[in-house]
Amino acid sequence: MRSDSLILIGGGGHAVVVAESALAAGLTVAGVYDDDPRCAAARPPGAVPHLGPLGAFPAAPAWIMCLGDLAARAALLERLGNTGPATVAHPSAVLAPSASVGPGVFIGPRAVVHSRAQIAPHAIINTGAIVEHDCRIGANAHLAPGSVLGGAACVGAGTLVGLGAVILPGVRVGSGCVVGAGSVVREDVPDGARVVGVPARALAR
pLDDT tens-digit profile of 74-127? 999 988 877 789 999 999 999 999 999 999 999 999 999 999 999 999 999 999
Note whether 70 and 93 are same-domain residues: no
pLDDT tens digits, one per residue of 45-82:
989 999 999 988 876 779 999 999 999 999 999 888 77
Alpha carbons within 13 angstroms on the beta-carbon side of residue 67 total 18
CATH number, domain of 55, equals: 3.40.50.20
Strands (E), 34-122: 50-52, 63-65, 88-89, 94-95, 100-101, 106-107, 112-113, 118-119
Number of H helices, E strands in the chain: 2, 23
Any domain includes 197: no
Exposure string of 184-205, with b = 16+ CB inside 10 Å and e = fewer, is: bbeeebeeebbbbeeebeeeee
Any domain includes 204: no
Give the best-scoring range by mean pLDDT among 2-11, 75-84, 150-159.
150-159
**What was the pLDDT predicted at 4?**
59
CATH number, domain of 115, equals: 2.160.10.10
Q: Which of 64, 80, 96 is at the close of a domain?
A: 80
Averaged pLDDT, 166-182: 98
**What was the pLDDT predicted at 81?**
79
Note whether 40 and 124 are same-domain residues: no
Note whether 10 and 98 are same-domain residues: no
Q: Which of 90, 114, 122, 133 is catalytic?
A: 133
Q: Which helix (H) or strand (E) holds 160?
A: strand 160-161
Note whether 186 and 92 are same-domain residues: yes
Q: Which of 80, 98, 114 is at the close of a domain?
A: 80
Using alpha carbons, select from 80, 78, 86, 163 the residue that is nearest to residue 128: 163
Note whether 30 and 91 are same-domain residues: no
Owning domain of residue 113? 87-191
Q: pTM for the complete prediction?
A: 0.95
- Cβ–Cβ under 8 Å, residues 75 and 55: no
133 among known catalytic residues: yes
Note whether 101 and 150 are same-domain residues: yes
Any domain includes 40: yes
pLDDT tens digits, one per residue of 8-44:
999 999 999 999 999 999 999 999 999 999 999 999 9
- Quick one: 98 exposed, middle or buried, by C-beta within 10 A (0-12, 13-18, 19+)? exposed
Q: Which of 59, 80, 101 is at the close of a domain?
A: 80
Alpha-carbon gap, residue 9 to 182, rounded angstroms: 29
Total structural domains in the chain?
A: 2
